Amino acid sequence: MNTVNTPRFNKRKLNKKESIIMIITVLFVIVTLILIAVSFSVSLKGFKRKDEAHEYDKYFVMITDNYKSDFWKAVYRGAAATASEKNIYVDLLGENFSIDYSTEELLKIATASKVDGIIVSANETVTMTKLINAAVNAGIPVVTLGGDNTKSDRLSYVSVGNYNIGREYAKQIINIIQERQAAKEAAKEAENAENKDAAAKEPAGIDTMQVTVLVNSDSDERDSGQSTQNIIFSAIQDSIAQEDITGTKLSISIKTVDNRNPFSAEESIRDIFHTEDIPDVIVCLNELNTICALQAVVDYNKVGDVNILGYYDSEPILNAIDIGVVYATISVNADQLGEYCITALSDYFENGNTSQYYTADISLINKDNVAEYIKKEGEQDE
């Protein structure tokens, strides 16, 4: 009897130990977040003494999925400039912490710290919905930026015209097809000139082109037809379907990128080049994926074979367009995005309501106009 009961007893004992360890771990995480929130709250009480004892009317925080990127830094500069004019202080939350916290963790900290307003680069996950609603229920208005959460009680959504972005990407895909067809026809004519009889007997054939659109993995966006990435992807498909493409069989697919951190995103994109069917066109929907894709194209010696359609106009992307590594990129008015976020929150506090949607301007940069942007970038650095 003892030999039978003993293993059962050890198993129950082991499960009890595992439960205790799990409870301790959860408590540790909760206590850590509370301590950070308390510490942050203390610093908030003293924020009025910043900038030579200047006293601000409101304190807002901006939370992004990658505060180190040039794009988000530019958006923050636009927000800070507008906030300063309205006597508001805005923090890019996370950049002064010694640990890189996730967007969700930073949102918890901001809510517990009772800031006056939150600007967050959101997604469509259930967790994000609950966190935004928790902030709103605590009396903190939330503006979603870039990525939205349509099921939440957020105040406003600030972004760009996602459908227009998709249409612009579609135009560039059509341009790439036309350029390849023109190059093929020119090569064919040269071949005909050398051997007319052989060329006349050879069938024309149909080219194939594979387009891969990179989407983030953390948003569960396939469950939301109105999500940012789904809207862009649908616009690409709709716009291309309206075009009369002859001589080319076009295939458009989605590649999910693990965007938990820059390293996982880089690995996800490099995996594309380890397959037999490397796409002819890669469409990137954010700055990080664009940087990773252009670096992979160079490292795997696929310049000229793989065309990259990028996002944003940071210096590395502009230089890549200039030397022919990136075909084109969407330039987003980052200053305007930041400005609209502050406008949405300040209008709410002043008037009790604000616009539900704010849309910033976009423009296309390619080999024809990239020199202008590089020159402008140089002038700004000076």
225 lies in a domain?
Answer: yes
273 lies in a domain?
Answer: yes
Q: How many separate domains does the chain show?
A: 2
Q: Say yes or no: 133 and 247 in one domain.
A: no
321 lies in a domain?
Answer: no
Q: Say yes or no: 10 and 67 in one domain.
A: yes
Of 109, 134, 160, the one marking the end of a domain is 160
Per the listing, tokens 């957020």 go with 154
The one-character DSSP state at 48 is G
274 lies in a domain?
Answer: yes
120 lies in a domain?
Answer: yes
**β-sheet bridge partners, residue 310:** 329
200 lies in a domain?
Answer: yes
Tell me what the mean pLDDT of segment 336-340 comes to.
Answer: 97
Q: How many Cα atoms within 13 Å fall on the side-chain side of residue 10?
A: 6
pLDDT tens figures, 351-361: 999 999 999 99
Is the pLDDT assigned to residue 119 strictly greater than 90? yes
Q: What percent of the chain has pLDDT over 70?
A: 81
What confidence score (pLDDT) does residue 83 get?
Answer: 97
Is the pLDDT assigned to residue 304 strictly greater than 80? yes
d(CA 143, CA 235): 25
More confident residue, 365 or 226: 365
Is the pLDDT assigned to residue 48 strictly greater than 50? no
Of 267, 291, 311, the one marking the end of a domain is 311
188 lies in a domain?
Answer: yes
Of 96, 128, 160, the one marking the end of a domain is 160
178 lies in a domain?
Answer: yes
Tell me what the mean pLDDT of segment 77-87 comes to.
Answer: 96
What confidence score (pLDDT) does residue 262 get?
Answer: 85
Find the CATH number of the domain harbouring 306.
Answer: 3.40.50.2300
Q: Say yes or no: 49 and 114 in one domain.
A: yes
Please state, rounded to an integer, the average pLDDT across all residues of the chain: 85
Q: Say yes or no: 25 and 119 in one domain.
A: yes
pLDDT tens figures, 97-106: 888 889 999 9
What confidence score (pLDDT) does residue 223 get?
Answer: 45
d(CA 294, CA 326): 7
What confidence score (pLDDT) does residue 75 get?
Answer: 97
Q: Name the burial class of residue 175, with classes exposed (0-12), middle (13-18) and buried (19+) by CB atoms within 10 angstroms of its CB.
A: middle
Tell me what the mean pLDDT of segment 323-334 comes to.
Answer: 96
What confidence score (pLDDT) does residue 259 get?
Answer: 82
Q: Say yes or no: 172 and 131 in one domain.
A: no
Q: Say yes or no: 71 and 166 in one domain.
A: no
Q: What percent of the chain has pLDDT over 90?
A: 63
Is the pLDDT assigned to residue 222 strictly greater than 60? no
Q: 10 Å Cβ neighbour count for 104?
A: 17
Whether the model clears a pTM of 0.95, i.e. scores above it, the answer is: no
Listing DSSP states for 49-66 in one string gives GHHHHPPPSEEEEEE-S-
Q: Kindly indicate the confidence band of residue 32, based on its pLDDT and cuts at 50, 70 and 90.
A: low
More confident residue, 97 or 176: 176
Q: Say yes or no: 27 and 146 in one domain.
A: yes
Q: Say yes or no: 77 and 210 in one domain.
A: no
Is the pLDDT assigned to residue 167 strictly greater than 90? yes
Domain that holds residue 183: 162-311
Q: Say yes or no: 209 and 75 in one domain.
A: no
Q: Say yes or no: 203 and 153 in one domain.
A: no
